[in-house]
């Protein structure tokens, strides 16, 4: 699905080093690390909006920087940590924008696009939000809707930058539960960055841990690691 | 917004537009018939007074009112979506003023090539292009909506000062012509110029067709648009060309018309409650034409008593809207 070969990641100077890393479909990955260690930069490198300093990122064996925008948008979707909602934009219309990579040059949607949106609305169980305006939702609802849009985009790789950052305890679990369900059912490769260790350890299949001292990213199966070990790798000064 | 409401609103706008076009055409001493209009266009008789009035006075003035109202409103809408700022518009961000500067330079240069019709239009569009680029560059460094607005206003005042300095070097006649032009007016266009204007207008509309889809994603912000597969560089180029052609073209013929480009898209968003740019563009164009036709009708009817400059009337509509948007955003921010 996603393969990284000896990549140095950062804007201008190297922030983070990734040795060989291979991510598989049907698995949920949690990206854990201190603030400023390069989690967002890592995710943006995977979408291709930031280039690697050295090394390569392959998406289904195609180099991510050689992909044209439109075909990349059919393979990777991205959800930010906050979606503020937009005045006069209904939830349904917002979700329909997830079909943009598939529509023609004039952006006209057909019945198939609407069916996809309706099926995702059912999957995420947000029927009651369909006709609401996006700026009138609660924070938890906004995050649900933002994730639903990424699912409407029907990409195999789904990236989420701290999707639980602004949510209450209950909503945090709900969102990650939803991610786990979609990842399994649709055979997605899902990566989310998070500071909620308990949730990550409980729900994710693998952890991607960033050590702030060695600046290296390592992959560990969640089953084979304890919370204390995660803390000692990611937050060594504690 | 549901479908029936959308059709109802569109129907009301179209109806208003048609009525206003007819009233505008018929305002004046002579009442025209349909055959005057038909013959004036297709079998013109120079000795027929009604046909001359239609062809040389009424048709150009009504047409330019429609085109200017529609063009400025669309340009305003493009800028508002592109800069993600409800206060953007060609006059308020200084693009009209930039266009004026180049028109002034062309007119005062003394070269007949530059002061010809083609020369003036090219200068106006070129000026609008340069100022749009300037704004685009500035917008990369400021995050806040209000900062961009202040930069636009400063750019406008700065350019106005340059124009005033230029004016002090020109002769009285050129100065008078330029000052009258600066008030904004729909009377400067004649029949022979209409094809050029319509051609340029349609060119911009053609580009616009390719912008609708990207603009719909720009509502979510530039980064999200890129993630959804939109080619950002291409969109930037198209938006700038589109705004420059609409603004430059209209500024060249009617002077810098204020506020229409800012006010109309905001009113349309309130009425239609949608982010779909197919709807927003069509509705803005119609409402822009309606508003400018109404402003001009007011001028025509008060002509006997008082000579009102177009810009003073458009500001009557526009200024309260700016204040309203600022207050509304303030209330949102404090909540």
Specify whether the CB–CB gap between B122 and B179 falls below 8 A. no
Write down the pLDDT at residue B183.
78
Tell me the average pLDDT across B289-306. 91
Candidates B248, B325, B312; CA nearest to B72 is B248
Indicate the average pLDDT of chain A.
Answer: 91
Taking only the tens place, the pLDDT of each residue in A99-138 is 999 999 998 899 999 999 999 999 989 999 999 999 999 9
Tell me the average pLDDT across A214-222. 92
Taking only the tens place, the pLDDT of each residue in B236-269 is 899 999 999 999 999 988 988 888 999 999 999 9
Whether B150 has a pLDDT exceeding 90, the answer reads no
Whether B274 has a pLDDT exceeding 70, the answer reads yes
More confident call, B33 vs B242: B242
Whether B76 has a pLDDT exceeding 90, the answer reads yes
Task: Name all domains of chain B by residue range, CATH numbers in brackets.
Answer: 3-334 (1.10.3470.10)
User: Rounded to a whole number, what is the distance in Å from the CA of B99 to chain A's nearest CA?
Assistant: 30
Q: Is the residue at A90 inside a domain?
A: no
The DSSP-derived string for B4-34 is HHHHHHHHHHHHHHHHHHHHHHT-SSSPP-H
More confident call, B143 vs B139: B139
Q: Is the residue at A61 inside a domain?
A: yes
* Burial class for A40, CB neighbours closer than 10 Å (0-12, 13-18, 19+): middle
Whether B97 has a pLDDT exceeding 70, the answer reads yes
Query: What is the share, in percent, of chain A residues with pLDDT greater than 70?
Result: 100
Chain A 75-94, residues with CB within 8 Å of chain B CB atoms: 76-78, 80, 86-89, 93-94
Q: Is the residue at A113 inside a domain?
A: no
Specify whether the CB–CB gap between B275 and A89 falls below 8 A. yes
Chain B: residue whose CA lies nearest to A131: B1
Classified as helix, coil or strand, B255 is: coil
The alpha carbon torsion through A156, A93, A136, B86 (nearest 10 deg) reads 110
The alpha carbon torsion through A99, A102, A106, A110 (nearest 10 deg) reads -70
Pairing of strands A62-63, A216-221: unpaired
Indicate the average pLDDT of chain B.
Answer: 88
Whether B335 has a pLDDT exceeding 60, the answer reads no
Write down the pLDDT at residue A194.
93
Write down the pLDDT at residue B213.
95
Write down the pLDDT at residue B18.
97
Classified as helix, coil or strand, B273 is: coil
Specify whether the CB–CB gap between A157 and A189 falls below 8 A. yes
Tell me the average pLDDT across B292-314. 88
* Measured distance CA(B264)–CA(B149) in Å, rounded: 18
* Measured distance CA(A167)–CA(A200) in Å, rounded: 15
Across the interface, whether the CB atoms of B227 and A73 are under 8 A apart is answered yes
Tell me the average pLDDT across A26-46. 92
How many helical (H) and strand (E) elements, i.e. helices and strands, does chain A have? 8, 11
More confident call, A97 vs B185: A97
A88, containing H or E segment: none
Across the interface, whether the CB atoms of B213 and A72 are under 8 A apart is answered no
Q: Which CATH number characterizes residue A9's domain? A: 3.40.50.300
Chain A hits for B217, Cβ within 8 Å:
97, 100
Q: How sure is the predictor about B157, in pLDDT bands with cuts at 50, 70 and 90?
A: very high
Q: Which domain holds residue A220?
A: 2-83+154-234
Whether A81 has a pLDDT exceeding 60, the answer reads yes
Candidates B125, B139, B111, B268; CA nearest to B199 is B125
Write down the pLDDT at residue B146.
77
Across the interface, whether the CB atoms of B227 and A70 are under 8 A apart is answered no
* Measured distance CA(B320)–CA(A83) in Å, rounded: 31
Q: Is the residue at A201 inside a domain?
A: yes
Chain A, chain B: beta-carbon pairs less than 8 Å apart: 62
* Measured distance CA(A124)–CA(B176) in Å, rounded: 67
Q: Is the residue at A161 inside a domain?
A: yes
pTM above the 0.80 mark? yes
Weakest mean pLDDT among A3-17, A206-220, B103-117, B288-302 = B103-117
User: Rounded to a whole number, what is the distance in Å from the CA of B270 to chain A's nearest CA?
Assistant: 8
Write down the pLDDT at residue B95.
92
Write down the pLDDT at residue B91.
87
Chain A hits for B231, Cβ within 8 Å:
69
Q: Is the residue at A31 inside a domain?
A: yes
* Measured distance CA(B92)–CA(B88) in Å, rounded: 7
Q: How many CA atoms lie within 13 A of A209 on its CB side?
A: 26
More confident call, B169 vs A186: A186
- Structural domain count of chain A: 1
Residues with Cβ within 8 Å of B247's Cβ and at least 6 positions away in sequence, in order, are B71, B72, B75, B90, B95, B96, B99, B128, B261
Chain B hits for A101, Cβ within 8 Å:
228-229
Tell me the average pLDDT across A189-211. 94
Please check whether residue A105 touches B, CB under 8 A: yes
């Amino acid at each position: 699905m996603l393969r990284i070969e000896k990549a140095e990641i950062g804007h201008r100077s190297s922030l983070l080093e990734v040795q060989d890393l291979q991510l598989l479909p049907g698995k949920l990955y949690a990206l854990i690390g201190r603030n400023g260690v390069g989690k967002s930069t890592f995710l943006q490198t995977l979408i291709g909006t930031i280039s690697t300093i050295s090394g390569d990122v392959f998406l289904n064996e195609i180099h991510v920087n050689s992909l044209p925008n439109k075909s990349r948008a059919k393979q990777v979707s991205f959800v930010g940590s906050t979606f503020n909602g937009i005045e006069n934009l209904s939830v349904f219309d917002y979700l329909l924008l997830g079909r943009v990579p598939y529509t023609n040059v004039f952006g006209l949607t057909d019945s198939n696009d609407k069916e996809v949106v309706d099926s995702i609305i059912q999957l995420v169980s947000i029927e009651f939000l369909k006709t609401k305006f996006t700026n009138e939702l609660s924070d938890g609802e906004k995050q649900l809707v933002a994730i639903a849009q990424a699912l409407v985009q029907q990409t195999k790789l789904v990236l989420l930058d701290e999707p639980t950052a602004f949510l209450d305890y209950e909503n945090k679990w709900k969102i990650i539960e939803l991610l786990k369900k979609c990842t399994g059912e649709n055979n997605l490769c899902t990566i989310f960055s998070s500071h909620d260790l308990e949730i990550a350890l409980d729900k994710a299949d693998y952890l991607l841990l960033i050590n702030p001292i060695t600046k290296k990213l390592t992959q560990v199966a969640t089953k084979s690691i304890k919370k204390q070990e995660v803390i000692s790798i990611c937050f060594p000064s504690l | 917004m549901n479908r029936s409401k959308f059709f109802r609103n569109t129907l009301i706008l179209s109806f208003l537009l048609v009525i206003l076009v007819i009233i505008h055409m018929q305002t004046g001493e002579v009442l025209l018939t349909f055959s005057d209009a038909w013959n004036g266009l297709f079998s013109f008789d120079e000795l027929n007074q009604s046909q001359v009035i239609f062809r040389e006075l009424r048709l150009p003035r009504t047409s330019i009112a429609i085109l200017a109202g529609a063009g400025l409103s669309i340009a305003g809408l493009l800028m508002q979506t592109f800069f993600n700022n409800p206060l953007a518009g060609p006059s308020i961000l200084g693009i009209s003023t930039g266009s004026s500067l180049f028109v002034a330079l062309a007119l005062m240069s003394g070269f007949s090539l530059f002061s010809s019709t083609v020369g003036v239009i090219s200068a106006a569009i070129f000026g609008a292009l340069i100022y749009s680029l300037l704004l685009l560059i500035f917008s990369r460094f400021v995050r806040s909506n209000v900062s961009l607005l202040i930069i636009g206003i400063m750019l406008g005042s700065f350019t106005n000062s340059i124009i005033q300095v230029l004016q002090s070097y020109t002769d009285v006649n050129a100065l008078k012509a330029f000052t009258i032009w600066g008030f904004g007016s729909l009377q400067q266009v004649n029949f022979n110029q209409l094809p050029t204007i319509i051609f340029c207008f349609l060119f911009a509309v053609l580009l616009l067709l390719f912008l609708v889809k990207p603009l719909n994603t720009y509502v979510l912000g530039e980064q999200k648009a890129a993630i959804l597969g939109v080619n950002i560089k291409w969109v930037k180029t198209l938006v700038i060309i589109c705004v420059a052609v609409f603004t430059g073209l209209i500024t060249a013929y009617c002077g810098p018309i204020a506020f229409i480009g800012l006010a109309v898209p905001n009113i349309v968003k309130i009425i239609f409650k949608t982010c779909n740019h197919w709807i927003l563009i069509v509705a803005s164009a119609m409402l822009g034409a309606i508003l400018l036709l109404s402003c001009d009708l007011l001028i025509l009817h008060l002509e006997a008593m008082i000579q009102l400059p177009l810009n003073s009337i458009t500001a009557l509509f526009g200024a309260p809207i700016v204040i309203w948007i600022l207050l509304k955003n303030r209330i949102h921010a404090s909540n």
